[in-house]
């Protein structure tokens, strides 16, 4: 999936008075420059702005959301999974983690997010996969790492339930759509 940076947003051509106001986006990718027109109202709802990363979906431009996920393993090679307690995907299962902040490495983000969500300190291990997935209104780019608990006791602060899953029980929960792809990769590593 090719990612672009929005380098410029300018007023587009309006045509007739009944038409929605348009804007013209200039996108820069690896050795490639594109110009695309979209509705100003749509642009306002996506959070796309100059300097932001985007991908071109089948029918639209999707903002890139960069996140990290921890595949926390115990001594029995079981992986820790959590049930979302909020948002549109409440009740579905995921691996803990969250959004990367500006200037933060994936490893730093993962340590911070796990401390915030689960109140434990982790040791970040091998990066096993970068998941690229198009949801309806955004593109998810998720760096996934094995991790171990260094200190603390797991405490759910944002999730409603948790489970330790092994290779045979990975499919016993209702995973988020993007995480289903990650399960296939994880299955080979457990």
Q: Residues 99, 179: one domain? A: yes
- Residue-level pLDDT at 81: 96
Kind plus residue range of the DSSP H or E element containing 25: strand 22-29
Q: Residues 76, 160: one domain? A: yes
Range of the domain at 20: 3-56
Q: Is 151 exposed, middle or buried (0-12, 13-18, 19+ CB in 10 A)?
A: exposed
Kindly report the length of the chain.
190
Residue 96 lies in a domain: yes
Least confident of 39-43, 47-51, 113-117, 163-167: 39-43
Q: Give the total number of structural domains in the chain.
A: 2
Residue 134 lies in a domain: no
Residue 113 lies in a domain: yes
Q: Residues 47, 84: one domain? A: no
Residue 138 lies in a domain: no
Spatial neighbors of 171 by CB under 8 A, at least 6 apart, are: 183
The model's pLDDT over 50-60, given as tens digits with 9 standing for 90+, comes to: 878 888 866 67
User: In CATH, what number is assigned to the domain containing residue 157?
Assistant: 3.90.79.10
Q: Residues 70, 40: one domain? A: no
pTM here is 0.82
The model's pLDDT over 129-146, given as tens digits with 9 standing for 90+, comes to: 999 999 888 899 999 999
Residue 18 lies in a domain: yes
Q: Residues 93, 113: one domain? A: yes
Q: Residues 78, 25: one domain? A: no
Q: Residues 83, 156: one domain? A: yes
Is residue 9 pLDDT above 60, yes or no? yes
Q: Residues 96, 155: one domain? A: yes
Residue 149 to residue 112: CA distance in whole angstroms = 13
Q: Residues 99, 38: one domain? A: no
């Amino acid at each position: 999936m090719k990612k672009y940076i929005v380098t410029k947003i300018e007023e587009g051509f309006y045509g007739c008075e009944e038409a929605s106001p348009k804007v013209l986006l200039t996108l820069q990718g690896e050795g490639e420059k594109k110009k695309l027109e979209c509705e100003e109202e749509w642009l306002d709802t996506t959070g796309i702005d100059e300097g932001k990363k985007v991908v071109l979906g089948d029918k639209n431009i999707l903002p890139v959301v960069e996140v990290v996920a921890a595949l926390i393993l115990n001594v029995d090679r079981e992986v820790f999974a959590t049930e979302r307690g909020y948002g549109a995907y409440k009740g579905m299962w995921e691996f803990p983690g969250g959004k990367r902040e500006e200037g933060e490495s994936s490893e730093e983000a993962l340590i911070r997010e796990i401390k915030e969500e689960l109140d434990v300190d982790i040791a970040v291990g091998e990066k096993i996969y970068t998941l690229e997935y198009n949801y309806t209104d955004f593109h998810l780019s998720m760096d996934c790492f094995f991790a171990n608990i260094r200190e603390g006791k797991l405490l759910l602060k944002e999730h409603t339930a948790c489970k330790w899953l092994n290779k045979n029980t990975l499919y016993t929960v209702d995973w988020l759509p993007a995480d289903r792809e990650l399960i296939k990769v994880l299955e080979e590593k457990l």
